[in-house]
Amino acid sequence: MNLIYISVAIILPFLIRFQPKKTDSTATPEVPTTTTEPKQINKLDSPIQSVPINKNPPKSINKEAKKRAQNFSPYKDTVFTEDKEMKENNLKAQNGPAPEPLIPANFDLDFEGVANLEISPGVFVLHNYSATRSSRKFNFNNYSIDIVTFDSGFMKEHFVWLPPFKWYLPNGLTKKQIDLFWKQPENHWHFDDSNMWHTGVVWEITNGEMSHCNEDKCKNHNYTHHLNYCEWPKPTSNPQFKGNLFAFGGHLIEIFQHFFDNGVPHMAFASIATGIDPKDVTVSTAACNGITQQIVQRLGFKIKTSCASKSAVVSATNLIVIPSMRVLHPAYYDWYRMKMNLPHPEQKDIIIIPRGGGAGGGNARIIYNVRDIKDPLAKIHGNDHVIIHNGGGGLDDLIRTFSKAKAIVGPHGGAFYNQFFANEGTDIIEMIPQMSSGKYPKQNHWDRLIPFAHLSMYSNTLLLRENFWRYITMDVDINFNINIDDFMKWSKQVPSLK
């Protein structure tokens, strides 16, 4: 039983990023090009201008939104059920103009004081309807970002809307594998939610006092958003820290890979929403891995506390927390690349990342003979440029190694998070097993937790503007051998492996 709980705890942070949604489209999926041109990232000091806000939303919308807010309880348990009627080729999200963000109607409900506000379907946060409203808009890396701020005197609520973005199929799939791809409910999710406006809110609290995360009390929400706080903040007369303090925890960010899934987007969102440069912000965080702590500092932040319990209370003269956000948007990863300022050496290396047997990782998803692809690749690219990475090294070592990579190859697993130290355009080749039914090994039901979170590598690669390839071995166990000759034949379609 304990093993079940542990498995759920490991998989849940991945699932919380995604929300299945039914559509009726059967459009042909768009496949990306296999190379990505490096892109210059703009600074965050773009001119700010006002944003028009609809002062007269339709009464029907106003009435329905108010009814939903009044009936919502932040402490009510909610059971998530899969959409059984989800159709294959769920690609309506890629067709037609993007919808407008949910800025106008819900903010103009005839409430007074603090009440629930629905910021996205099924996602409610507490909001002061009587606060003074202002708005601004700026461009960041070709994204037009809308921010509406509500000032209550002792705190500011920054509501941020990030525009929709494109989602793509993995490269390297056969026609049969594409058909099987659409049988997995999870593979439909991002083709839908990437076309939604990404909405979240950041609080800046004068003399504020809060825990690092209060997610355990936020039980009523859907799976698109992190919901971190469900209680209205109260000021303190004696804040412990003088200055800007950003507190964040929860969602297993103390673990290396979950720091990238959840911690990086939270830091990016806080920076974008407040407009405060990281060099002027100190963090108190649950992040606890030595390398991730170095990343926090390389991004520009100072660290007050690390390895903090998410329930630990902190206070500051200007406390910054995030009640709710979606962690899935390329703007966060553009911000990460801009602040990390990774080197851009010539990319000549192919890096093989084994799993298990001293190379790190768990006891599942092991490819026993993955190291055997080194010799045939070395005959093409040279022995010095085909590297087996067995883990280890500090942040500088990882950046030096992976910034030179033109391709990273291996089984699905945490070692792939080293792709955060690679450059745009790097080919990411994930090797996974799959059954002819479309299920994965050990997956017994379509609508239950799967044995590993396939979307994480896929999602990170697209968000980092790298190129995602998937090499599938059919009808094998979760630990398996690959056919080396078949892989080398398949690899001829990957530009960096030719």
Q: How many residues does the chain have?
A: 498
Max Cα-Cα span within the chain: 71
Domains and CATH numbers, the chain: 40-77+95-173+195-340 (no CATH), 349-497 (3.40.50)
Q: What are phi and psi of 24, to 5 degrees?
A: -115, 5
Burial of 25 (0-12, 13-18, 19+ CB in 10 A): middle
Cβ atoms of residues 219 and 75 within 8 Å: yes
| 287, two tokens | 């992040």
pLDDT at residue 293 in the model: 95
Q: What is the pLDDT along the chain (498 residues), one digit of tens a residue?
A: 444 444 434 444 444 443 433 333 333 333 333 333 333 333 333 222 333 333 344 455 456 666 666 665 443 332 222 333 333 333 333 333 434 444 446 787 888 899 988 887 778 899 999 999 998 888 888 888 889 999 999 999 999 988 889 999 999 999 999 999 999 888 888 888 888 888 899 999 999 999 999 988 886 556 678 889 999 998 999 999 999 999 999 988 999 999 999 999 999 999 999 999 999 999 999 999 999 999 999 999 999 999 999 999 999 999 999 999 999 999 999 999 999 999 999 999 999 999 976 555 668 889 999 999 999 999 999 999 999 999 888 999 999 999 999 999 999 988 999 999 999 999 999 999 999 999 999 888 887 666 666 788 999 999 999 999 999 999 999 999 999 999 999 999 999 999
pLDDT at residue 84 in the model: 32
pLDDT at residue 120 in the model: 79
pLDDT at residue 105 in the model: 64
In Å, what is the CA distance from 473 to each residue of 38, 177, 482?
A: 32, 10, 7
Amino acid at 315: S
pLDDT at residue 41 in the model: 30
